[in-house]
Amino acid sequence: MKLALVGIGKIALDQHVPAIAGSDVWSLAATVSRHGSVDGVENYADFDRFLAERGDIGTVSLCLPPVPRFRFAARALAAGRHVMLEKPPGATLAECHALIGLAESRGLSLYATWHSREAPRVATAKAWLADRVLRRLTVTWKEDVRRWHPNQDWIWQPGGMGVFDPGINALSILTEILPVEVHLTRATLSVPANRQTPIAADLFFHHPGGAEIEAVFDWRQDGDQIWTIEAVTEDGTMTLLDGGARMLLDGAEDAATPDLGPLGGEYPQLYAKMAALIARGDIDMDLRPMVHVSDALALGRRVAVAPFYD
Ligand code: NAP
């Protein structure tokens, strides 16, 4: 199946291009980008020209930041293309619902991808938690923004989400592995005095069984980067490490995990799922991770912290 990648930046080059190259199903038939390109693939600087000229390409995969994404997705759906969305699926929930309506009315597939859910141990963690009584769950997502988002101004602008850009990955795992729904009750957002979006956030959730649920996100982490979810249950503790790449049960490694490198294996699975969605004529737009971010931005108490300079 022919596919076009839109927005040739960091994630398109790091993950999407290799995942498509390694796929038996997909072929990268065009790119759309003002500054980027992929060797040997025709690039269009103008999206409308691409849509008009390349009726042979049935699917577009949008790797843009969240704010510009809606107008690209809406035009692609209006032009009869299936659409795959990088996370987060949009800048607001309302625009995501508008996209669902557009896709439904045209019988097209639309996929809000959550790459972290494809990490090797996430499904095992979900199965382990399914029939256990949870007492406490703590998400700790601490990384160095200078290392992962060098000079990306959009993350600091309205709609860029700040530390929720990686934090939403943790929330995508949380909403996947918990057998019940939680909702946010309070949050503290630390916002640099010269920026629009938080550099750190503490989130607290209501759990229907009374478990304590907290998420701590921080972009000011030196040294080791931490992407951990620890779940304490009535019969043992499960710890997801390295963003779901490894899992401990009561401190012991659950099983050898294949070393696929950073984000290894996640994007090939997203592309396989997109092909399956199209084959079934289906839509997959799970917006729960984004609901928690929106709630934190709505309810969160803002604290001004030191200005941030790249
Ligand atoms: P990026 O490199 O800053 O931007 C991606 C591309 O989007 C840019 O190269 C740019 O291409 C295009 N773009 C940016 N602003 C635009 C605008 N206003 N209008 C049209 N095109 C625009 O960002 P990224 O790190 O790849 O992240 C993109 C998305 O992937 C984000 O939602 C992010 O959360 C997600 N993601 C990123 C990572 C990561 O490690 N970086 C990991 C997983 C997911 P042109 O200027 O050439 O058109």
Both 7 and 70 in one domain: the answer is yes
User: Is 34 close to ligand 1, i.e. is its CB under 6 Å away?
Assistant: yes
Residue 2 catalytic? no
- 75 ligand 1 Cβ < 6 A: no
Output the CA 152–ligand 1 centroid distance in Å: 9
Whether residues 48 and 150 share a domain: the answer is no
Q: Is residue 270 part of a domain?
A: no
Which two tokens mark 147?
A: 């290392």
Inside any domain, residue 278: no
Number of domains in the chain: 2
Is residue 284 domain-resident?
no
Same-domain check for residues 180 and 94: no
Render pLDDT for 72-113 as a digit per residue (tens, 0 to 9). 999 999 999 999 999 999 999 999 999 999 999 999 999 999
Task: Please answer whether residues 254 and 132 qualify as being in contact, where contact means their C-beta atoms are separated by less than 8 angstroms.
Answer: no
Can you tell me the mean pLDDT for 61-65?
A: 97
- 235 Cα–ligand 1 center, Å: 43
Considering the domain architecture, whether residues 92 and 132 belong to the same structural domain is answered as: no
226 and 193 within one domain:
yes
Write the residue with the smallest CA distance to atom 8 of ligand 1: 9
Q: Cβ(9) to ligand 1 under 6 A?
A: yes
Q: What's the CATH code of the domain at 91? A: 3.40.50.720
Are 122 and 212 within one domain? yes
310 lies in some domain: no
For residue 45, what are the domain limits? 2-112
pLDDT band at 255 (very low <50, low <70, confident <90, very high): confident
Same domain for 246 and 145? yes
* Pocket flag, ligand 1, residue 87 (CB < 6 Å): yes
| pLDDT, averaged across the chain | 96
Do 72 and 136 lie in one domain? The reply is no
For residue 65, how far is its CA from the centre of ligand 1 (angstroms)?
A: 4
What is the CATH classification number for the domain harbouring 236? 3.30.360.10
On whether both 183 and 209 belong to a single domain, the answer is yes
Per-residue pLDDT reduced to its tens digit, 205-253: 999 999 999 999 999 999 999 999 999 999 999 999 999 999 999 999 9
Ligand 1 close to Cβ of residue 57 (< 6 A): no
What Cα–Cα distance (Å) separates residue 291 from each residue in 89, 121, 168, 294, 307?
A: 11, 24, 10, 5, 28
Give the tens place of pLDDT for each residue, 166-197: 999 999 999 999 999 999 999 999 999 999 99
Residue 287 covered by a domain: no
